Each structure stands twice: as C-alpha cells, then as structure tokens.
C-alpha cells in the first residue's frame, strides 16, 4: 500500500518508459501521450513524503502538517526534472476536479467494478487504491499535489484543465490547448514565418538561453543567431519571406 519500495518502483518506471519510447516507438515527429510520468512521481512524493517504515502511516492531522513543509517553501531544485531522464514533455496537462465530483467518480467506479466483476475483460475486481482514501480524508493533500505539479520544472508548458465536466468537454479543452503548441513544435519555421522575434525567442528557450519572457538566463556573453530562408520558394510558407539574422550579446 505504499512506502519507500512503492516510490522506488514508480521512479524506476519513469526510466523504463523512456527506454521503451526511445528503443521501440519514438520517431522525430511522433506525438506521444503519456498518463502521468515523472511529474506525477514528483508531485505525489513531495506532497506526501513516505516514512521509513513499511506501514507508511502518518500521525494525526496536526502532526502531519508539522512534518510536511509547505510546497511553496520548498526549494526549486526539488522540482527539477532528473538530468538523466532525457525525454521531457512539451506539454503537461493537469486535470483538476472538485473533491465532491472526484469522490462520486471513485464510488461509481468501485460500484461498477463490484457489479461487473472487474474492469474491461472481466476478471477479479481491481485492487483498492490507497490514494482514493487519503485524498478523501485529507482535502489539503490534493491541493498540495496540484501545487507541486505546477512547480515541476521540465515540461515546456503546463496547463490546468477543468475535469469536472464530461469526457467530451475535457477532450475538447485538451485539444484546444495542444493545437497551437504542437503546430509550433512540429513545424516551427512555418509557424514563426511572420514573427522573426518569436522564432528567435523560441529557439533561445530551446537552448535554455532565455526564459519564457525572453529575458536572458545567463550573464556570460553569448550570441544567438537565427536565420530562415524559404527553400527556393517551395516550402509550405510560399510567401518567400526572409527572416533576418538576429544577434544579441
């Protein structure tokens, strides 16, 4: 039901997934959708650190609050993406839901599992998820997890989706969010054809030379040169626009 070994298992699983993507499925322009991954591992771990015993129990609410620091007071480095986990998401979607709606869905899922004898394909009912009980007893735990997820540094962009409504509505929100970033990621030259400064800032962020606002991240002198020419006028951007060379020091 948790503890150090469970956290170690989930941490290792992040590397196993990366290996499977790189060796078996990943190509340059593939779009890969992952449920959770390291952001979830980090968020759940810092929001509720495991104790060094197999029971992984916490004390009373007052004792727990004293032992677990506020997420906002934790140093940024606790939320850094591991340097040896090379793949990082372009977009992190965080589904946020009200406690009452979450509990109704948990109850409905449990009732459906008990009635049908398991999930899809039949078989034994799914195992009890201790996090359902923990989140029901400690409302602040869910808030800490959400705050931690938004502090994870690794994904290019993080968005929150209102998951209280229907599956169709959640899917629509997700598609609306990813459409523009994926266009920018898969075909950046066409995307920035009429916005050379945006292209320069985008490349600077990819090289970790500037932050999201375009502010330089390093004080050492550096040059960033970006140029774009349409390939003999045959690219999908047939305007023939020449993006000028840009330099900054």
Phi-psi region of 56 (alpha: psi -120 to 50; beta: other; left: phi over 0): left
Locus of tokens 């039901």? 1
- How far apart CA 131 and CA 13 sit, in angstroms, is 18
Tens digits of residue pLDDT in 191-213: 888 888 888 788 777 777 777 66
DSSP 91: E
Tens digits of residue pLDDT in 75-104: 999 999 999 999 889 899 999 989 888 888
pLDDT at residue 59 is higher than 60: no
- How far apart CA 94 and CA 157 sit, in angstroms, is 11
Cβ atoms within 10 Å, residue 44: 22
Tens digits of residue pLDDT in 136-190: 888 888 899 999 999 999 998 899 999 999 999 999 999 999 988 888 877 888 8
Residues 6+ apart with CB under 8 A from 190: 235, 236, 237
Contact between residue 133 and residue 142 where contact means Cβ atoms under 8 Å apart: no
């Amino acid at each position: 039901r948790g503890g150090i070994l469970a956290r170690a298992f989930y941490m290792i699983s992040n590397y196993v997934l990366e290996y499977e993507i790189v060796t078996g499925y990943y190509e340059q322009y593939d779009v890969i959708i992952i449920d959770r991954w390291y952001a979830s591992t980090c968020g759940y771990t810092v929001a509720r650190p495991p104790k060094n015993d197999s029971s992984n129990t916490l004390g009373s609410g007052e004792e727990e609050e004293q032992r677990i620091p506020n997420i906002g007071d934790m140093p940024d480095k606790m939320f850094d993406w591991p340097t040896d986990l090379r793949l990082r998401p372009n977009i992190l979607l965080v589904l946020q839901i009200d406690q009452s709606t979450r509990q109704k869905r948990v109850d409905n899922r449990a009732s459906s599992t008990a009635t049908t004898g398991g999930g899809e394909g039949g078989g034994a009912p799914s195992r009890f998820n201790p996090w359902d009980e923990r989140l029901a007893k400690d409302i602040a735990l869910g808030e800490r997890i959400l705050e931690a997820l938004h502090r994870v540094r690794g994904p290019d962009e993080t968005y929150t989706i209102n998951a209280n409504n229907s599956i169709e509505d959640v899917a629509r929100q997700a598609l609306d969010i990813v459409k523009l970033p994926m266009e920018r990621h898969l075909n950046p030259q066409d995307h920035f054809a009429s916005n050379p400064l945006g292209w320069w800032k985008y490349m600077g962020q990819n090289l970790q030379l500037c932050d999201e606002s375009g502010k330089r991240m390093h004080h050492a002198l550096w040059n960033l040169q970006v140029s774009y020419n349409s390939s003999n006028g045959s690219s999908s951007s047939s305007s023939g626009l020449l993006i000028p060379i840009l330099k900054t020091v």
